[in-house]
A and B are shown apart, each in its own frame.
Chain A
Amino acid sequence: MANKRIDEPTGTETVGHEWDGIEELNTPLPRWWLWSFYLSIAFAVGYVIAYPAIPLLNRGTEGLLGWTSRGDLAKEIGLADQARVTVKERLAAVDVSKLSANDALLQQARSGGAAAFKVNCVQCHGSGAAGNQQLGYPNLNDDDWLWGGDMSTIAYTINHGVRQSNDDDKRQSAMPGFAGVFDPQQMTALVAHVRSLGGLQQPNAAGAQIFAENCVACHGANGDGNRSIGAPRLNDAIWLRGSSPAAVERQILNPKMGSMPAWGPRLDPVTVKMLTAYVHSLGGGEAFVDGPAQEPGGKTDVRP
């Protein structure tokens, strides 16, 4: 601290340092500034005592108040859960077939369903619900339904599952295998007829004859299918297990049939309702309900 001197114009002492001719005056701080400085030191001490502050070897000090950011998060999650309770109660009270009449509740159900779908359904149906043609998981975005596409039917399928033995009310049906029944000419004719139903090939009388004798009981005379027994529609553009002659023949000789677990026992009814609303909303939903909201105790929300 050499070269301290009084600066003549201001009458103030310099701090004694000089940088390229620039000197600094030792102007005293205002007293309140010092007070704020000491106060902030006192605050820091209090903070260190009250809150987690000092890192130790395997964990930090906990602080007298016991505050943690994890605890904050748990509190917020609790609040969010509470906020969802009302939606869940309203969903529980409404009949699934009438859900689409209440637009606001339907939107909430769809959002919840989208989340539940990602947890429970994407393993087979894919994250975009587009299914898998190689493995025969149905695409849920299209308008082709094996068992039906209105709200109640979708909910039933989710609840009871398809061809899985642990539920007595499950969707159940089976197509017999036709291995060894037809000779190669008959087989070619039948495959050609089945493909002609969807417009892929020219129809032929021989194939139509075989189809009428063996297949119409389930698939219908025109190949319309039968949703009550899950018999697929054959006269459309969607082929769950492929449309090539080889794929069709394989399915006739040794049919593969999909199965789905019953979700009723695994998920709560509200989640099933939300999943139903989501799947219904993917683009193929049928039987929309119009008219006034059917929700008991529902109220319209209008700001003052």
Chain B
Amino acid sequence: MGLLKSQVGKLMSGPDGHQPQDPLTVAGGGRSKTEVPSSNAAAGLGAITTRQHPQGPPEERVTDKLYEARKQVHNKRIDGPFRRFKWFVMAMTLTIYYATPWLRWDRGPYAPDQAVLVDLANRRFYMFGIEIWPHEFYFVAGLLIMAGIGLFLVTSAVGRAWCGYSCPQTVWTDVFQHVDRFVDGDRNARMRLEAAPWTWGKVLRRAFKWIIYLIVGFWTGGAWIMYFADAPALVHDFWRGEAAPVAYVTVAVLTLTTVTLGGFMREQVCIYMCPWPRIQAAMMDEKSLLITYKDWRGEPRGSVKKARAEPARFGDCIDCTQCVQVCPTGIDIREGPQIGCITCGLCIDACDKVMAEIGRPRGLIDYATLEDCQQEAAGAAPRPAWKALLRPRTLAYLGIWSAIGMAMLFALGTRTHIGLTVSSDRNPPFMLMSDGSVRNSFTLKLRNMTSAPREMTVTLDGLAGGTLWTDRVARESASRHQTVTVPADASQTMRAYVAMPPGSSAQSFAFDLSTEDAKPERVSSETHFSAPEH
């Protein structure tokens, strides 16, 4: 178990890892070395981390225990611009998640009418007017790359905004915390209830809350499966017990994970399980926006009364701990940037409210870059946060992101909706016919990627004197081209026979596939005609 004990290193020091007052030079192992303290958000910025002055007795961290019990976070209700923005993002994301599968999109009689549908059984992906076949999956790969670079862009511009507002873990944790508040009351009531003995009242209350958790989790899982089948029909089948077993299993698994991760684990997911905070820590620099406690302004902390007595001695922070109480991950932002901070801005709301009440300027805790903090601490005027957005790195990410988006839009606009694959028979490579002509056989695969049957014409391109017929017609119907109808949204395999007059030699040619309907399209596929050597 020694391995277990030693697994979590410095970067995992958690929500209550304290920051030092100064870089310490300590003697260890007979050698002198500089101990640069850990700063989770921007490692290596000694100048920043030296400004943290946590007041009060340092928490006892030395423990003989094998594990660390979790301290339940009871975050206090708060209102303010950031909370309202969080409400807005939450409403948007949840609406998109729950409503999208119910949007209809008329695709005619041969294709499903669901606007967004991942049709795994038939291997088709529908998104409004776009239909993607498995061989076009690079569009989805491109979307994922865009999502990745989009996260880089957001992180370099506004820090961990993804974590704070739109990450599903954050949104669902928020939902569950509101359920807590609805059932058990606000922070103080919840803390009292947690400490209270297990009376029948508490049991009933907990049961009621967990039933709501289950409903939320079930609804989350239930919405997920709607993306994979026709939603109204699936709901009908689901409640009649006629849906596919995988639907019930998926709902059960997602209900379980939603309740576990959102209802019970919450900030533990962000702090211990999620790789994203670690990656973001590497992507942020001193010019990235993050939520900072301006310690040069706040320290040393003192109550309003004390500050009135000795104005020169105390900073703006009155140590009311409102910022700690409202934090959904239960950290103290005044200890500096840390892995537990998801930058949701609720502490800014709380602090601004207090500052307004005691008549001090807002922004003791605020969005700022570490560079701005340094300049501000040195006496410069505060720089508006939006100015941090426009910088070369952010613009470069934006450029790459847009370029990929444009390239994908271009590919989407110019792609054909028909396809032709040709493979020539190798056994035998050519065939002598009774009239002395030489025949080659080919297997053609015609693809119709539209949701209506299409009439397509296969034509010989090159191969002067050659005639073409298929396994659907006799040789008497042979000519330079053959017309076939390919069913909607399907690929059709057929054999094609090409004959050349006696004495012809081997040569290259191509099959052309074209449509003459409302949207004429044309594709071509090179191949080879084999003939006996003379």
Please report A residues at the B interface, Cβ cutoff 8 Å.
Answer: 3, 5-13, 15, 18, 21, 23-34, 37, 100, 103, 107, 110, 126-128, 130, 139, 141-144, 199, 233, 236-238, 281-283, 285-288, 302-304
B517 at interface by CB-CB < 8 Å? no
Inter-chain contact A238/B68, CB cutoff 8 Å: no
User: How many whole Å from A249's CB to the nearest CB in chain B?
Assistant: 22
Instruction: Report if A128-B474 is in contact (Cβ < 8 Å); known contacts: A25-B8, A238-B433, A281-B495.
Output: no
Choose from B10, B112, B434 the contact partner of A142 (Cβ within 8 Å): B434
Residues of A within 8 A of B472 (CB): 100, 103, 288
Q: Are B62 and A143 in contact (CB under 8 A)?
A: no
Q: How far is the CB of B321 from chain A (nearest CB, A)?
A: 20
Interface code B32-76, partner A: CB below 8 Å = 1, 0 otherwise?
010101100000000000000000001111110111111000000
The 3 closest A-B pairs by CB, nearest first: A128-B427, A236-B434, A237-B436
Known: A10-B17, A304-B112. 15 other contacts (CB 8 A): A8-B26, A10-B10, A10-B61, A12-B61, A27-B13, A34-B67, A103-B472, A107-B493, A128-B427, A139-B428, A142-B433, A237-B502, A285-B474, A288-B473, A302-B110
Measured between alpha carbons, how far is A30 from B471 in the docked complex, in Å? 68
> CB within 8 A of A9: which of B20, B63, B432?
B20
With the chains together, A8 CA to B441 CA distance in Å? Answer: 81
Q: What residues of chain B lie closer than 8 Å to A283, measured between beta carbons? A: 431, 439, 441, 471, 495, 497
CA distance A127 to B26 in the complex (A): 81
Q: A9-B20, A281-B495, A286-B474 are in contact. Are A27 and B29 (CB under 8 A)?
A: no
CB-based nearest A residue for B260: A32
| B20:A29 contact, CB within 8 angstroms | no
Using known A-B contacts A25-B10, A130-B431, A281-B495, determine if residue A11 contacts B68 with beta carbons closer than 8 Å: no
Q: Does B9 contact A24, Cβ atoms closer than 8 Å?
A: yes
Q: Does B4 contact A (CB under 8 A)?
A: yes
CA distance A127 to B427 in the complex (A): 7
Name the distance in Å between A235's Cβ and chain B's nearest Cβ: 9
Most buried by A among B6, B230, B439: B6
A31 adjacent to B68 (CB under 8 Å): yes
Please determine whether B439 and A30 come into contact, CB atoms closer than 8 angstroms.
Answer: no
Pair A32/B268 contact, Cβ less than 8 Å: yes
User: Which residues of B are at the interface with A, using a C-beta cutoff of 8 A?
Assistant: 2, 4-10, 12-14, 17-20, 24, 26, 28-29, 31, 33, 35, 37-38, 58-63, 65-70, 109-112, 230, 265, 268, 272, 425-428, 431-436, 439, 441, 471-475, 493, 495, 497, 502
Residue of A with least CB distance to B473: A288
30 contacts between A and B (CB under 8 A): A9-B18, A9-B20, A11-B18, A11-B59, A11-B61, A13-B61, A15-B6, A21-B33, A25-B8, A25-B13, A27-B8, A29-B4, A29-B5, A29-B67, A31-B67, A31-B68, A32-B268, A34-B67, A100-B472, A103-B472, A110-B471, A126-B427, A128-B428, A130-B431, A141-B431, A199-B436, A233-B434, A281-B471, A283-B497, A288-B474
Closest Cβ of chain B to A183, distance in Å, is 32
Nearest A-chain residue to B437, judged by Cβ: A237
Given contacts A8-B20, A10-B17, A18-B28, contact A28 B68 (CB under 8 A): yes
Chain B residues near A13: list those with CB within 8 A.
61-62
Kindly report which residue of chain A lies nearest to residue B9, judged by CB atoms: A24
> Taking the nearest CB of chain A, how far is it from the CB of B179, in angstroms?
20
**Contact present for A30 and B70 (CB under 8 Å):** yes
> Which residue of the partner chain, among B10, B265, B474, B497, contacts A32 with CB atoms under 8 Å?
B265
Looking at the assembled complex, report how far the CB atom of A43 sits from the nearest CB atom of chain B, in whole angstroms: 15
Q: Please give the distance in Å from B10's CB to the nearest CB on chain A.
A: 5
A34→B66 contact, CB < 8 A = yes
- Residues of chain A contacted by B473 (CB below 8 angstroms): 288
Report the bound CA distance from A9 to B18 in whole Å. 7
Interchain CA distance A142-B435 in the complex, whole Å: 10
**Shortest distance between the CB of B200 and any CB in chain A (Å):** 28
Cα distance, A199 to B471, chains bound together (Å): 29
Question: Do B427 and A238 touch across chains, with their CB atoms under 8 A apart?
Answer: no
Distance in angstroms between the alpha carbons of A254 and B405 in the assembled complex: 77
- Nearest A residue (CB) for B58: A11
Query: Does the CB pair B67–A33 fall under 8 Å?
Result: yes
Are A237 and B12 in touch, CB under 8 angstroms? no
A238 contacts B432, C-beta separation under 8 Å: yes
Residue in A closest to B475 when the chains form the complex, CB atoms: A143
Chain B hits for A3, CB < 8 A: 28-29
Judge whether A142 and B109 touch: CB under 8 Å: no
- Compute how far the CA of A32 lies from the CA of B38 in the bound complex, rounded to whole angstroms: 25
Of A30, A37, A107, A286, which is within 8 A of B68 by CB? A30
C-alpha gap A38/B359 in the complex (Å): 54
Q: What is the minimal beta-carbon distance from A1 to any residue of chain B, in angstroms? A: 8
Q: B5 touching A31 by the CB < 8 A rule? A: no
Q: Given the complex, which residues of B lie within 8 Å of A24, measured CB to CB?
A: 6, 9-10
Compute how far the CA of A75 lies from the CA of B385 in the bound complex, rounded to whole angstroms.
Answer: 64
Evaluate contact between B38 and A9: CB separation under 8 angstroms.
yes
On whether the beta carbons of B110 and A303 are closer than 8 Å, the reply is yes
Q: Chain B nearest CB: distance from A162 CB in Å? A: 20
Contact yes or no, A28 B63, CB < 8 A:
yes
Name the A residues within 8 Å of B63 (CB-CB): 28
Residues in chain B near residue A238, CB distance under 8 A = 432-434
Choose among A9, A28, A34, A126 the residue that contacts B37 (Cβ–Cβ < 8 A): A9
Chain B residues near A33 (CB-CB < 8 A)? 67, 272
- Known contacts A9-B24, A12-B13, A142-B431, A29 near B8 by CB under 8 Å: yes
Residues of A within 8 Å of B474, CB to CB, are: 285-288
Give, as a whole number of angstroms, the nearest-CB distance from A270 to chain B: 20
Q: Given the complex, which residues of A lie within 8 Å of B112, measured CB to CB? A: 303-304
CA gap between A243 and B62 in the complex, in Å: 99
CB-defined contacts of B497 to chain A, threshold 8 Å: 283
